[in-house]
A = this chain, B = another copy of it.
Amino acid sequence: MSEHQHSSAGIDRIRVLIADDHPAVRAGLAAVILAENDLLVAGQADTGEQAIALYREHRPDVVLMDLRMPVLGGVEATQRITAEFPDARILALTSYQGDADVRRALDAGARGYLLKHMLMTEVIAAVRAVAHGEWVIPPAVAASLARHNERDRLTTRELEVLGLMAKGLSNKEIALAIGRTDETVKIHLKSVFAKLKVATRTEAVRVALGRGLVHVE
């Protein structure tokens, strides 16, 4: 863990890369990190692409990665960084505990998951924990992961259809979009409804948005 001793006075401080598209959030995290004498801000990115570039450049010990960023999302950025640097320690950071976001972030190689309404002391503690090789999953998030374990996971096809449906497309339009019959689309949606335990498309959109299965705009 002491293979990079860059500039600055602090020896072996934990170097943290911040990736978030909100300047206020970046400033807040940076300020808190700055105030800790064992932490250091290694860089700040406002897109997933920049996060990757800065990771390559600085090789930080920990990355605080917002999942919703323009140009390239946090999940994709996490994926590419861990693909290139398997030892990367990335903490996913987001506003809400959507199931899908958590799962995808962890699948992409994130070492933990933080919610933005968590106290800064908790964030700092999580950064230290991850830097020391631990995993960080908030109890609420872990419980949510356990609840929707396997049976109710959607297939890629179902996710695709759900996404198009959430955009407001009719069954026929979805069928046209994926090059299948509308009967097939109906079957997929039927299955989606069963797994999400809903009966109408509107409810499905709500649940999907709540779990982060689809995203607005």
Taking the nearest CB of chain B, how far is it from the CB of A69, in angstroms? Answer: 10
Chain B residues contacting A168 (CB-CB under 8 Å) are 198, 200, 202-204, 206
Interface check A123, CB cutoff 8 A? yes
Q: Does A136 contact B (CB under 8 A)?
A: no
* A56 contacts B by Cβ under 8 Å: no
Interface size class of A (residues with CB under 8 A): 35 or more
User: Closest residue of chain B to A209, judged by CB?
Assistant: B216
Rounded to whole angstroms, the CA-CA distance of A31 and B25 in the bound complex is 11
Which residues of B are found within 8 Å of A9, using beta-carbon distances?
A: none
Please tell me if A120 contacts chain B, counting CB pairs below 8 Å.
yes
Q: Which B residues touch A202, using CB under 8 A?
A: 165-169, 201-202, 205
Comparing A71-79, A111-119, A150-158, the segment that makes contact with chain B is A111-119
- Mark out the residues of chain A between 137 and 152 whose CB falls within 8 Å of any chain B CB in the assembled complex: none
Q: Is A181 an interface residue (CB 8 A)?
A: no
Q: Is there a chain B Cβ closer than 8 Å to A57's Cβ?
A: no
A216 to B208, CA, bound (A): 11
Within 8 A of B (CB), among A188-217: 198, 200-206, 209-210, 216-217
The answer, yes or no, to whether A95 is at the interface (CB within 8 Å) is yes
Determine whether the beta carbon of B27 is less than 8 Å from that of A32. Answer: yes
Alpha-carbon distance A170/B203, docked complex (angstroms): 10
B117 with A22: CB separation less than 8 A? yes
Residues of B within 8 A of A23 (CB): 28, 116-120, 123
Among B22, B120, B200, which residue has its beta carbon within 8 angstroms of that of A27? B120
Given contacts A168-B202, A205-B202, contact A24 B210 (CB under 8 A): no
